[in-house]
Amino acid sequence: MGRRDDEHTLATYDVLLEKVAGDSMNLTELRAPRLTGNSLKVFAKLLRVPVLGPTILRKIKLDNRMIQVRELAATVRMQPLYYPLCMPSSSLLAQHTAHARAYSLQALAAMEHPQKSLAFHCYTAADYVHADAALENAIASTARYRAGATLGPLHGVPIAVKDEIEDEGYPTTFGTSFLGSVHGVAPVDCFSVARLRAAGAIIVGKTNMHAFGAGCFGINIHHGTAPNPGSAAAGLVPIAIGCDGGGSVRIPSSLCGIVGLKATYVRIPYDFHGCPSLSKVGPLAASVHDAALAYTIMAGSDAGHHHMSLYQPPLYLSTSPFATDLGHLRVGIDPDYLFGRDTEIVTAIHAQMADLQARGATIMHIKLANLQAIHFGHNMTILTEMAQATDVHYRCIREFSADVQINLELARAVLSSIDFLAAQRVRAYATSMLRDPDVFKAGLSQLELTTGLMKCMVLGNFVGIGLSSGGLPMPLQLQAAHWHEDTVLQLARLLESLNPMPKPSVYNSPLDSTTTDVATAH
Share of the chain above pLDDT 70, in %: 72
Q: Burial code of 14-26, b = ≥16 C-beta within 10 A, e = fewer?
A: eebeeebeeeebe
How many helices (H) and strands (E) the chain has is answered by 20, 12
Residue 311 belongs to some domain of the structure: yes
Tell me what pLDDT residue 282 has. Answer: 95
Q: Is the dihedral of CA 201, 203, 206, 212 positive or negative?
A: positive
Element (H, E) at 68: helix 68-75
C-alpha 371/C-alpha 330 separation (Å) is 22
Average pLDDT of span 486-505: 83
Tell me what pLDDT residue 228 has. Answer: 58
Tell me what pLDDT residue 456 has. Answer: 57
**Same domain flag for 506 and 375:** no
Tell me what pLDDT residue 187 has. Answer: 93
**Same domain flag for 376 and 501:** no
Tell me what pLDDT residue 318 has. Answer: 74
**Same domain flag for 394 and 451:** no
- Whether 268 shows a pLDDT value over 80: the answer reads yes
Tell me what pLDDT residue 233 has. Answer: 58
Residue 205 belongs to some domain of the structure: yes
Residue 520 belongs to some domain of the structure: no
Task: Rank 88-102, 285-299, 459-473 by mean pLDDT and report only the highest.
Answer: 285-299
Average pLDDT of span 249-272: 87
Average pLDDT of span 122-139: 48
Tell me what pLDDT residue 426 has. Answer: 94
Give the residue with greater pLDDT, 76 vs 436: 76
Contacts of 466 (CB under 8 A, 6+ apart): 348, 473, 474, 499, 501
Please state whether beta strands 516-517 and 506-507 pair in parallel, antiparallel, or not at all (unpaired).
antiparallel
Angle between helices 402-413 and 52-63 (to 10 degrees): 80
Our count of domains for the chain comes to 2
Average pLDDT of span 82-96: 83
The pTM score is 0.83
- Whether 6 shows a pLDDT value over 60: the answer reads no
Tell me what pLDDT residue 222 has. Answer: 84
Q: Which domain holds residue 502?
A: 103-366+440-511
C-alpha 374/C-alpha 71 separation (Å) is 11
Residue 180 belongs to some domain of the structure: yes
C-alpha 497/C-alpha 359 separation (Å) is 14
Residue 517 belongs to some domain of the structure: no
Query: Which of 1, 28, 3, 18 is CA-nearest to residue 71?
Result: 18
**Same domain flag for 382 and 482:** no
**Same domain flag for 397 and 471:** no
Tell me what pLDDT residue 336 has. Answer: 79
C-alpha 256/C-alpha 341 separation (Å) is 19
Give the residue with greater pLDDT, 416 vs 13: 416
Residue 521 belongs to some domain of the structure: no
CA–CA distances in Å: residue 301 to residues 56, 92, 297: 46, 16, 11
Tell me what pLDDT residue 231 has. Answer: 53
**Same domain flag for 283 and 142:** yes
pLDDT band at 471 (very low <50, low <70, confident <90, very high): confident
Tell me what pLDDT residue 11 has. Answer: 66
**Same domain flag for 356 and 253:** yes
Q: What is the CATH number of the domain that holds 260?
A: 3.90.1300.10
C-alpha 422/C-alpha 285 separation (Å) is 36
Tell me what pLDDT residue 16 has. Answer: 65
**Same domain flag for 285 and 228:** yes
**Same domain flag for 492 and 362:** yes
**Same domain flag for 253 and 301:** yes
**Same domain flag for 31 and 74:** yes
Q: Which of 178-182, 263-267, 427-431, 435-439 has the lowest mean pLDDT?
A: 435-439
Tell me what pLDDT residue 134 has. Answer: 36
pLDDT band at 412 (very low <50, low <70, confident <90, very high): very high
pLDDT tens for each residue of 43-60: 999 999 999 999 999 999
Share of the chain above pLDDT 90, in %: 25
Tell me what pLDDT residue 450 has. Answer: 27
Residue 54 belongs to some domain of the structure: no
Q: Is 60 exposed, middle or buried (0-12, 13-18, 19+ CB in 10 A)?
A: middle
What's the gap between Cα 229 and its chain centre? 14
**Same domain flag for 77 and 111:** no
pLDDT tens for each residue of 188-229: 999 999 999 999 998 888 888 888 887 777 778 888 876 655
* Average confidence score pLDDT of the chain: 78
Give the residue with greater pLDDT, 308 vs 115: 308
Residue 204 belongs to some domain of the structure: yes
- Whether 28 shows a pLDDT value over 50: the answer reads yes
Query: Which of 433, 381, 436 is CA-nearest to residue 407?
Result: 381
- Whether 34 shows a pLDDT value over 60: the answer reads yes
Q: What is the widest separation between alpha-carbon atoms in the chain?
A: 80
Give the residue with greater pLDDT, 383 vs 508: 383
Beta partners for residue 94, in sequence order: none
